[in-house]
């Protein structure tokens, strides 16, 4: 079953550090290129093309697409809703573009531009029986600054890179607008509530996967969540947590996610 992967990339206008954003994206793309099974297609959608993607192609097609239908959020006064609309627009555009160029895609997976996937991700998905979709609950929290990892069995409650939906439930609109793209489930359900889509809309079996397939990257200097910790105490707790509960990544971790 072919997997279509869409990576929405934030604009340089709202990035706290564009170099960090691009370095994180390089690792994300690297984790895809490291897959043991190449039965997937992928695209990165953003406003500005990072240098590393300017000449990159996958299966004969350009990896990067510049979105022109929407303007990037204004950094001054930007809200979580603004970030969500921007991200959803890029996910929708990526799905629409991949659908046009690859009719073989059977499952869709939005992957955040700073997260990592196991080199066994595609192989694992490819081996599963047909279902309405999957929730990737097994994985790790990786605290980049502290170089610590923390195993997680409820990753979908924290990480946006945890939902996969079968193509038959992806209805792309004829025209592109904030309202029309809501026909795509990823644009109306958060990663924390995707189970509601499967249970109430699709009304079809889905699979919760506990294999550690996704790494949620934190404290790299450009997380949106960093801006929510205003008090010194909350910042201190966030800094100390990986030291108290986590461990250093070993050789097996590095080979699986970061080779």
Instruction: Give the pLDDT confidence of 166-214 residue by residue, as tens digits.
Output: 999 999 999 999 999 999 999 999 999 999 999 999 999 999 999 999 9
Q: How many percent of the chain have pLDDT more than 70?
A: 95
| Nearest C-alpha neighbor of 151 from the set 252, 28, 42 | 252
Q: Is the pLDDT of residue 118 over 60?
A: yes
Helices (H) and strands (E) in the chain, counts: 6, 13
Judge contact between 67 and 46, C-beta under 8 A: yes
What pLDDT was estimated at residue 212?
Answer: 98
pLDDT tens across 47-96, in order?
999 999 999 999 999 999 999 999 999 888 889 999 999 999 999 999 99
Q: What is the CATH number of the domain that holds 129?
A: 3.90.550
Q: CB-based burial of residue 157 (10 Å sphere; 0-12 exposed, 13-18 middle, 19+ buried)?
A: exposed
The reported pTM is 0.93
Residue 171 to residue 149: CA distance in whole angstroms? 37
Phi and psi at residue 46, to the nearest 5°: -160, -175
Confidence of residue 221 (pLDDT cuts 50, 70, 90): low
Structural domain total, the chain: 1
What percent of the chain has a predicted confidence (pLDDT) above 90?
Answer: 85
> Range of 60's domain?
2-257
């Amino acid at each position: 079953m072919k997997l279509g992967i869409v990576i929405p990339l934030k604009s340089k206008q709202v990035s706290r550090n564009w170099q960090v954003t691009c370095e994180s994206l390089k690792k994300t793309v690297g984790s895809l290129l490291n897959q043991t099974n190449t039965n997937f297609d992928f695209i990165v959608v953003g406003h500005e093309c990072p240098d590393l993607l300017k000449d990159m192609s996958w299966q004969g097609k350009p990896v990067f697409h510049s979105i022109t239908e929407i303007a990037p959020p204004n950094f001054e006064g930007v809200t979580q809703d603004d970030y969500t609309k921007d991200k959803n627009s890029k996910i929708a555009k990526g799905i629409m573009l991949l659908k046009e160029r690859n009719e073989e895609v059977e499952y869709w997976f939005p992957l955040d531009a700073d997260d990592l996937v196991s080199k066994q991700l595609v192989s694992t998905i490819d081996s599963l029986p047909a279902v309405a979709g999957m929730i990737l609950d097994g994985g790790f929290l990786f605290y980049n600054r502290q170089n610590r990892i923390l195993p997680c069995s409820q990753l979908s409650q924290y990480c946006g890179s945890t939902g996969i939906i079968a193509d038959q439930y992806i209805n792309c609109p004829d025209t592109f607008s904030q309202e029309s793209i809501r026909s795509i489930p990823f644009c109306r359900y958060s990663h924390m509530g995707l189970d509601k889509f499967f249970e109430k809309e699709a009304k079809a079996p889905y699979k919760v996967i506990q294999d550690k397939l996704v790494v949620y990257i934190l404290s790299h200097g450009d997380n949106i969540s960093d801006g929510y910790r205003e008090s010194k105490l909350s910042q201190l707790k966030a800094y100390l947590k990986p030291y108290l509960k986590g461990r250093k990544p070993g050789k097996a971790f590095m080979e699986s996610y970061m080779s």
